[in-house]
Each structure stands twice: as C-alpha cells, then as structure tokens.
A and B are shown apart, each in its own frame.
Chain A
Amino acid sequence: MTRGTIRTSAAGIAALALLVLAAQSGWAQEAAAAGPREYGSFPWIGSRTAIWIAAEVHLMFAAFVLGVPMFAVVAEAIGIFGGDERYDRLSKEFTRLLLIAYSATAMWGAVLVFLLTTLYPRFWAHMTEIFEVSMWIYVGLFFVESFTLYLYYYGWERWKQGRAKLGHWTLGILLNVWGTAVLFIADSWLTYMMSPPADVTPDTSPAMVQAWSAFANATWMPINIHRLIANVVFGGSIVAAYAGYRFLSAKTDDERAHYDWMGYVGNFIAIGALIVLPFAGYYLGREIYEYNQQMGITMMGGFMSWLWIIQAFLIGVLFLAGNYYLWVGMGRIPGAERFLPYTKWMLFVLIIGVIVWSTPHTMIADRAELEAMGGSHHPFLGVLGVMSAKNTAVNLMILTTFLSFLMYRRANRRPVVGWARTGTILQAGLFVIAAAVVLFYGVYGYFVSAIVRIGFSVYQVLAVLATIIGVMALDVAMLRGSESRGEIRWGQMPPRSQYALFVLVVTFTWLMGLMGFARSGIRQHWHVWEVMRDTSQWAATPALGFAAQIISVCVIIFLGMISFIFWLGGLVEKPQLVPKGR
C-alpha cells in the first residue's frame, strides 16, 4: 500500500504541476502584453486565503513528518539498547504513519510553491533572487531525505539483527539530520520576511543582499528551536490520537493493550515537549523585541493583544486534558490510589493558573473603551493580567503537570534503595523551593520597574527547569531495581480518556495555526518587514475572528486528510503486536 501511495502521489504531483504550468503559460501571455505582474488573483476566496491555507496545511504535515522521526529513532534506540522489542515495533509503526504522510506533505508543498509563483510573482522573484542557492540545496536534501526514509522503512525487517540493526538505526539518525536541515533552510526564508538584515532597505537590490546575513537573520535560530520542539509536541499528539482511535476500534484485548500503551507514549512525548516549549517561546519573543521593539509591541500589545488571551485558553485546555489523561490512566496502575486524593488540589492549581493566564491586560482600546473601563486596566482584574502574575501562573502549571507525571511514574513502583525516604523528601523540597522562587519573583515583580520585572521570568524559568532536572535525576536513581506493586493493566482504560487525546490533537493543531497567524501577522502590511510592502488588495491583516475561521478550515482539512491516509494505511498493513516482556 505504501509504495502504491507514493506512486499515486507522485503521479498526482506531476499532474498538478502540468496543470499549473499550463495555466501559468496562459497567464504569462496575458502578462507579457500588460507588463510585469505584481499579483495574481485566486477565484472565490482570494489570493491571501489561498496562500494561507496552502502554507498552513503544508506546515501541519511538515511538522508531523519532521517531528515523528525524532521520537521514532529514540524508540528504536530503546528497543535496541534496552532489549524491549515493543519499542522497536512502536518505532516501525510511527515510521509507517510517517511514510504515508510524507507524500501529502510534498503535495501541499508543491501547491504552495505554485500559488506563490502565480499569485505573488513580485515577492517570489525577490525571494528567489536572494535565496536561490539555498532553494537548490533544499531540493537536493529533500531527495536525500526521501530516499533515506524509504531505506529506513523498507529495510526494517532486512536489517533487524546485530550490526545491521545499528546501521538501520543510523539511517534513522540521518533521516533526522536531513529533516532538520530542510527545516532550517525553510525557516530562513520565512524569518527573513520577519527580520531582514538592518542594512536591507526598500532601495536595496536583492542581488546586493548578502545571502548568509539574510539566511542567518535575527529570528532564524529562535524559530528553528521553537519549531523543532513544537514538531515533537505535534507529532506526539497525532500519534496519541491515532492510537486513541485504534484503541476505541480495537477488537481484541491485545490490540487494546497495544494502542493504550502507544497512546500513553504519544501523549507523554507531546506533554513532555510541551513543558519546555514556553521557554523556547520566551527566547523567540525576546529576539523579536530585540530586533524591533515596534514589532514586539505589535505582537504583544498592539492589534494582536487579544490573540494571547485565546492562546492562554488553548494552552489551559492542553494542560487540563493532558493531566486528566494521566489521572484517569492511574486507575489502571496498582498502587496509584495513594496519589488520587492529591489530584483535586492539582486541578485547583491548574484552573486558577488558566484563569490568571487568560486575564486580559493592556489590550488595545479606544478612548471610549478606556473611559468605560475607568483606566487602561480593569480596576480589579488588571492586577492579575500583568506578566508577573501570568509567568507565575504558567510556571506553577508546569510544575503541577510535572508532578502529575511523577506520580504516574511512581505509582506502581516501590523503591528499594536505603535513601528512598531521604530522596523523596529531597524531591518534595525541590518542588517547594521552585514554587517559592516562582511565587517570590511573581510578587516582587509588582514592586519594580518593567525592565527589571522582565528579567525575573528568567529566574522563575530556571527554578522550574532545575527542579524538573533534579527531581528526575533523583527519581531515576531511586527507582533503580525497584519492586513492582503490580503490572500496569494496559488496555483497561475507560474510553473517555481517549477522547481527551482527540481534544489534545485538535487543540495542538489549532494552536499551531494560531501561532502561525501571529508570527506571520506581525509583519502587517509588509511582505518583507520594512523592505517590501504588500500593495495588493489583501494587504491588511485580518482580525482574529476571520483568522480563526481560516485556522479551523485548515485544521479540518489536515485532520480529515491525515485520518483518511491513516485509514488507508490500516487497510493494508496491520501492526505486529508484541506482548510485553519479550
């Protein structure tokens, strides 16, 4: 099936390319008569919406096919070096999903390029003149990446033992190297649009722009890091939802157990990476401010200020659904009952955190609104809307989620090391210290100037990160050789828990669309910030309501397509279930 899919997709791309080229040649004849065209037009929905949908859906597929290899190769390594064959099977199943999604990524990439060349020819000419070399390298890497993927998947059974297996694993690592290089190149193009080098002006000829300074621009590396982590989150959530679907439709206990476990692993990857994602977000935000204060202010306090309230709500849903899945999952772990009384308090902290994080503050307002509010902030809630309160809330939510994971991990284990009690007290101490540091700087932030307050977020983040690392290190050492309180009853998970996985995947996908709008929208009416104006009829950046409708359309297209291709994959090849313990 997978070979057939590739052939079908390749034929589809070729047909699409011919169609677009044929259409292009007709348009080109018209353009030759009227002079160089700056913009094309797309029927019904307009050029901007057409590009938006093509770019967003391509990006969603790309995030999936770049994220999954990262944890597929880690799962294979656990299988090789840990001797647990389940992980090897899991890795292969991840890769099978990847293979099918790969052709869809390429198709949407082709659609995007053809739309750019036909709808935005002036802009595209500017970009190709600066980035032509990197575009050729990109295409070359794409070929190499594709064939590495084919070797990796189709060689799985052939190179299964001994040194051949290590060679196979190396292919997986190479797949990640090529994928990361492809990501970094594509990121350079879009970040150049946001943050071109300061010496590039509207009068600068693209031929005179130094390729490397355009490539390694101010926001390139922050976006690279942010996307690498976000791809893992996204890939994990898709895999978890896939497993959730297969769990709900499973016919046998073995199948149910396998997909329960797969859903847990996918969710663990997604939530684990999500915990560090805000730190990458801080880094990106800081670099945007450093590059251009106006852009930063537009993003956080200008016309986009309400966007962050929606983002806070979505991330709140992610934290709540992720924790809910873990808490429900503890019902199938012997010994977890001792932790259940704490969950209500953790839920309380999470809900308060979401409320604080979602509190509006410094929203763009006209004079009448300011007068109605009695000032620039709400008289009571304004105090909760400042960054001190929000940073405190999000850091406490991260700590709470980490505690949920730790309880899940410890649920059926009984440490046997002599220092187990001391270790547990130390872990608790680290949690208390981190929470105290977060709260202290949260409160102290109200009494200092804004510029000092911004620096406090670094201390809060460091305290939380240090606690996560320290507690995990203690936990790993403490549970070495630990006794089991009973085997996890994989498959005995209430169906409602699986619906949490669907909420998670929809929320992650929607959030990705929202953040894409934020990143692209802060350029406002510039194709390339302060270098090339958008002079088309679609130059204005739409309000959030319209953006939400387009994002929802993209999410439905993506989830619809990926469900269809996963279903196709399932028709031909059934995963080989490996009972635990082999």
Chain B
Amino acid sequence: MWGTNLKILGVVLGTIAVYTLLANAIPQIESEVPEELSFTGEVSAEELIDAGEQLYAGAGGCTACHGLGTRAPNLLTAQGSEGPIGARCGNRVPGEDCKTYLHRSMVEPNAHVVDGFQPIMPDMSRTLSDAQIWSMIAYLQSQGGEVTVTSSDLAAAAPDAASAAGGAAAGPSATTDPEALLRELQCVACHKLGAEGQEVGPPFDGIGARLSPDEIRGAILDPAATVSPGYEQFAGVMPPNFGSRLTAAQLEALVGYLAERR
C-alpha cells in the first residue's frame, strides 16, 4: 500500500512541478503600479521623456494595444510615409497642434478615432495623474518630433491634479444651448449630426422619429440599457455618467433638441 501511496504522491507532486516550471519558463511580466511623479520647478524635456517612456512601456499599459499595431496604431513606428507619432501628430487634425492632439487623444479618446480602428482607448485621466499624462505626451512627441511640453503645462494642470487621477469626469460649462453641449460633450464624435462626426453610434439625424423623448432621456442617462440594432459591437463605448455631469436644465435642453430632429 505504501508503494501505491508513494506513486500517487509522485504523480500529484510531479504534475504540480511541471505546471510550476512551465509558468516560470515563459517571459515574466509584472503589472507595475504607475509611479507618482512630483516635478518641482523647471523640468527638463529629458526628465519628462524618461518618465513618459517608463510609463508607456510599463505601468501605463499602452503597449498592450499600441505596441503591436493590431488593436491600435503603432505609435513608435512609421505609418505609411508619415513617420512615428511625434512626426505625424501635428497633421492628424486640422487646427490642432501635436501637443493638443495627443492630450485630447488621452483624455477624450473618442474625439478623434483613427480610421480603421475601434474606439477602445480608455480615458487615461481615470488612471493617470496630469503629470503622468504630460510626461507620456513628451515621450510620444520625442518619437520623431519636437518636445513642446514644458513646466507650464504641468503647472497649469496642477490645481486639478488631485481630482484628475481616478477622479470623475468633469461636467460641461453652464450652457444650455443643446448644439454647444453636443460639441462640448464630444457627442458628435460618435453620433453623426449632419455632415459632422463619425457613425460609431446611431446618428442624431432623424432620432426624433425613431425614439420618444423618454427613450432619448433614458439613452443618455443609461446608455447600456438599450443598444440600437446594428451597433451592438460598440455597446459600452458611450460614457454612462452623463446623469451626474449634466444639470437637469442641460439634460432637458438636449432631450428637447434631439426629439425635434425628425
């Protein structure tokens, strides 16, 4: 009987050992915690680039999509004749310089989705502080372009730093002009309005004929509750926090405006 027991023990421990060794034989990647940056006074471009590179390749988690060039554009290599991201960022959106474009891409990622890719980029202000975001931008600019991020960008962001990392999305201005709100909230980035915007979600044109005011209100407040047919693959993209970002007057102004677009 002891012989049988030893054989069983051998099979059990041997199987466990094989799995443990196998898991130790593959590349070991640890998920790091984004290092909190505390720059004081004048910050050199090199310091920002170094900090940004570490975040980009590590705790920022960027390479899961951007490093491989399948889920999202590869930022470190040339795209067609345009060069890496630092070289092409200034040409992406007319009227937006490289720094502005990269910043918006990180904190309003659905504002400009590159053709051929899905709007899967998360709002990085939920997980990174402003200093971390600016250092990442400096690193991306250094990839074929000129680094224009300065201490003043960090200083301007400083008052909001406490709420930026992991904080709730900010509310819009006090306007109740529905068209201004649609643009301010980046709604038209995903819902086409006339010739403006992209069709990630159902277009605003004709929405009043398709949905009642109550349904429109429900779709704004709880977008995941009902997904329009044909747009299932984009379910979950629309932010669910408009209920806390809009005042009641703004919400009703939007509902009224959209309900009239028949």
Query: Which A residues form the contact surface with B (CB < 8 A)?
Result: 198-199, 201-203, 245, 248-249, 289-294, 297-298, 301-306, 309-310, 313-314, 362-367, 370, 376, 450-451, 454, 499, 502-503, 506-507, 510, 521, 524-525, 530-531, 533-534, 539-549, 551-552, 555-556, 559
Tally B residues with Cβ within 8 Å of A: 54
Partner of B30, one of A293, A303, A362, A365: A303
Q: Judge whether B16 and A547 touch: CB under 8 Å.
A: no
Chain A, Cβ-Cβ closest to B19: A510
Q: Fill in one digit per residue for B1-43: 1 if any A CB lies within 8 Å of its CB, else 0.
A: 1001001100111011101101110111111111000000000
Contacting B120 at CB < 8 Å: which of A291, A293, A534? Answer: A293
Separation in Å of the A85 CB from the closest CB of chain B? 30
Contacts of B236 in A (CB 8 A): 289-293
Tell me whether A203 and B168 are in contact in the complex, defined as CB-CB below 8 angstroms, given that A294-B122, A552-B19 are known contacts.
Answer: yes
Which residue in A199, A298, A544 is a CB contact (below 8 Å) of B61?
A298
Q: Which of B28, B126, B243 contacts A544 (CB 8 A)?
A: B28
The minimal Cβ–Cβ distance linking A325 to chain B, given in whole angstroms, is: 14
Instruction: Please report the C-alpha to C-alpha distance between residue A170 and residue B43 in the assembled complex, in whole angstroms.
Output: 73
Least Cβ–Cβ distance between A527 and chain B, in angstroms: 12
Q: A293-B236, A552-B16 given as contacts; is B7 within 8 A of A499 (CB)?
A: yes
- How many Å lie between the Cα of A531 and that of B13 in the bound state? 40
In the complex, the answer to whether A548 meets B23 with C-beta atoms within 8 Å is yes
| Complex CA distance for A57 and B161, rounded to whole angstroms | 41
- Mask of B65-106 contacts with A, CB within 8 angstroms, 1/0: 101111100001000000000000000000000000000000
User: What separation, in Å, do the CA atoms of A301 and B66 have in the docked complex?
Assistant: 11
Contact of A559 among B12, B23, B233, B239 (CB under 8 A): B12
Question: For residue B19, which residues in chain A have a CB less than 8 angstroms away from its CB?
Answer: 310, 314, 507, 510, 548, 551-552
6 sampled A-B residue pairs with Cβ under 8 A: A302-B61, A303-B31, A507-B15, A540-B33, A545-B23, A548-B19
CA distance A9 to B120 in the complex (A): 51
Q: Are B127 and A552 in contact (CB under 8 A)?
A: no
B171 within 8 Å of A (CB atoms): no
Question: Which residue among B57, B61, B69 has the maximum number of chain A CB atoms within 10 Å of its CB?
Answer: B61
A301 to B65, Cβ gap below 8 A? yes
Let me know if B63 is at the binding interface, CB within 8 A. yes
Partner of B70, one of A376, A539, A549, A555: A376
Question: Counting chain A CB atoms within 10 Å of each CB, which of B17, B26, B31, B167 scores highest?
Answer: B31
Given contacts A364-B68, A366-B63, 10 further A-B contacts (CB under 8 A): A293-B236, A298-B31, A306-B26, A309-B26, A376-B67, A451-B233, A502-B8, A525-B34, A546-B28, A549-B24
A306 to B64, CA, bound (A): 12
Contact between A199 and B15, CB atoms less than 8 A apart: no
Which residues of chain A are within 8 angstroms of B241 by Cβ–Cβ distance?
198-199
Cβ of B235 within 8 Å of any chain A Cβ, yes or no, is: yes
Contact pattern, B 220-262, Cβ under 8 Å of A = 1, otherwise 0: 0000100000000101100111011000000000000000000
Contact A297:B240 (CB < 8 A) given known A314-B19, A362-B70, A451-B233: no
Tell me whether B118 is interfacial, beta carbon within 8 Å.
yes
- Which of B15, B30, B235 interacts with A540 by CB under 8 Å? B30
A543 x B68 contact (CB < 8 A): no
Which of A249, A310, A499 contacts B23, CB < 8 Å?
A310
| Residues B11 and A201 in contact, CB atoms below 8 Å apart | no
Closest 8 CB pairs of A and B: A548-B23, A302-B64, A543-B28, A541-B31, A545-B24, A198-B240, A201-B168, A294-B122
Query: Is B206's beta carbon under 8 Å from chain A?
Result: no
- The docked-state distance in angstroms from the alpha carbon of A258 to that of B220 is 63
Tell me the bound Cα distance from A540 to B34 in angstroms.
Answer: 9
A290 touches B235 (CB 8 A): yes
Chain A nearest CB: distance from B138 CB in Å? 18
- Given known A503-B15, A543-B28, contact A365–B23 (CB-CB < 8 A): no
B166: which of A201, A506, A507 is its contact (CB, 8 Å)?
Answer: A201
In the complex where A248-B8, A297-B71, A548-B20 touch, is A540 in contact with B28 (Cβ < 8 A)? no
